Amino acid sequence: MARDYVRTIQDMERYYYGGSATTGYTYSSGDILKADAPMLSTTAGTYQAIYGRKVWSQLNQEFNAFSLLPKKPWERSGWRIITDKPSFNVGGGLAENATLPDTTKPSFLHVASKPKTIGHAFDLSEVSMFLSDKDDGLGDVRQVLKEEMGKHHADHINQMLLEDVTNPAGNDLESLDRLTTDASKMQTSAHVDDTTDHDLYSISRTGDDEWHNAEADVDASGNRNLSLNQLDGLFQQIWKRGGNPKVMLTGYDTLMRVQQLLQSQQRFMESKRVTPTYNGVKGVPGIEAGFIVATYNGVPLIPSKDVVQEASGISRIYYFDTDYLWFQTAIPTQYFESGIETGDPFAINRLGQEGLYRTMGEVWDSFFGAGGSIRDLA
């Protein structure tokens, strides 16, 4: 090729890629562009995501209410309580050489309670267990379900403990909401539809008798703003009854409302960060009596997701004296399995595996007046 042949880019393309001007073919820079078919990650049949064996739970399964209750062994199915003091109209100051006064005595009452059985089960087929460690399976799928169902078991117990007062326990555990009510106030303010909503154990909580009522701050007119006077007032009422709250339980929304109330009280002098703990349960880290609240009146303030939230309002606040409130444990939580993997498919009558978590017990409250609640909060 003559040296002066390549004068334009078209001449260079003709030289390197072939072709001849004599054929009548017109060359341009666009002649070499192709209708490509690239291999992409979305090309059918070429890519398959591997999801791995780790399962990341997206659920909040905390069970703070159940955790903060002390646990005691079930030794008997009832207890005795004193419901009234001896008469003040008998005895007292005696005149010189006076006859002895008439005798008197307090009023006694039997309280009976039976343990409740709480169970949660799951099952797997033999094929699902076989394939779980093949291909892109979960690995040990039985272990995955066992772990998650254990959390669910405790989570559901937590929800039972925080059921609204209008939901009688039935076969479920008695709720802390029911234990911290004042039957006379709740019935007068139309908070309950039926007087038996308050009955628990073997006690009929009708009438104005103080002994079977907790200290409840309610408002029949509707939700009202939370105030420090309400928080302090309930402490005073419980102290007057003879209780001494050891822990407070509320929702995360009310915890933030208390924080807002106390923010104006904050003093920047030797502020100390604390994390409230009670019976192994940790609350929200914060600064004592200010900003993110850790304690109030020296009492740990623990949040739980299951505390009853008022309609168009915020969560209730519970005061517990755990000297008189605990979980009476008949049988602690146990895990059972049966099926093909344990060599007994006949027990479940199929080729698979079944697991079960079971807890037996009941919430006991030996002094209603030592606890209380603040309700109807906006």
Please give the helix or strand (H or E) that residue 317 lies within, else none: strand 317-320
Residue whose pair of structure tokens reads 């993997």 in the numeric block: 341
d(C-alpha 127, C-alpha 134), whole Å: 11
Domain spans in the chain, listed from the N-terminal domain onward: 70-87+104-251+304-374
Q: What six digits make up the tokens of 266?
A: 């904050």
d(C-alpha 249, C-alpha 261), whole Å: 17
Residue whose pair of structure tokens reads 């001449």 in the numeric block: 11
d(C-alpha 171, C-alpha 2), whole Å: 102
**Each residue's pLDDT tens digit in the chain (378 positions)?**
555 566 777 777 777 766 554 444 454 545 555 567 777 778 788 777 776 666 666 667 778 889 889 999 999 998 898 888 898 888 888 899 999 989 999 989 898 999 999 999 989 888 888 887 777 767 788 888 888 888 899 999 999 999 988 888 889 999 999 899 887 777 665 566 555 667 788 888 776 677 888 888 888 777 889 999 999 999 999 999 999 999 999 999 998 888 888 876 654 444 456 666 766 676 766 655 444 567 888 888 888 999 999 888 999 999 999 999 999 999 999 999 998 888 888 888 889 889 899 999 999 999 999 999 999 998
d(C-alpha 335, C-alpha 350), whole Å: 20
What pLDDT score does 298 carry?
85
Q: Are 281 and 71 in contact (CB under 8 A)?
A: no
Q: CB-based burial of residue 310 (10 Å sphere; 0-12 exposed, 13-18 middle, 19+ buried)?
A: middle
Single pTM value for the model: 0.79
What pLDDT score does 77 carry?
92
Report the alpha-carbon angle 290-294-297, nearest 5. Answer: 80
Residue 264 to residues 169, 219, 284, Cα–Cα distance (Å): 41, 26, 20
Q: Are 298 and 213 in contact (CB under 8 A)?
A: no
Q: CB-based burial of residue 151 (10 Å sphere; 0-12 exposed, 13-18 middle, 19+ buried)?
A: middle
What pLDDT score does 118 carry?
94
What pLDDT score does 35 carry?
66
Give which of 284, 313, 328 is closest to 378, Cα–Cα: 313
Report the alpha-carbon angle 225-218-312, nearest 5. Answer: 50
Give which of 330, 355, 262, 261 is closest to 117, Cα–Cα: 330
Tell me 85's DSSP state: P
Cite the beta strand spans of 95-231 per DSSP E: 107-112, 116-125, 215-217
Q: What six digits make up the tokens of 178?
A: 């029911």
What pLDDT score does 27 carry?
46
What pLDDT score does 203 carry?
84
Cα–chain-centroid distance for residue 369?
A: 25
Q: What dihedral angle (degrees, nearest 10) is formed by the CA atoms of 94, 95, 97, 98?
A: -60
d(C-alpha 28, C-alpha 166), whole Å: 85
Q: Are 260 and 253 in contact (CB under 8 A)?
A: no
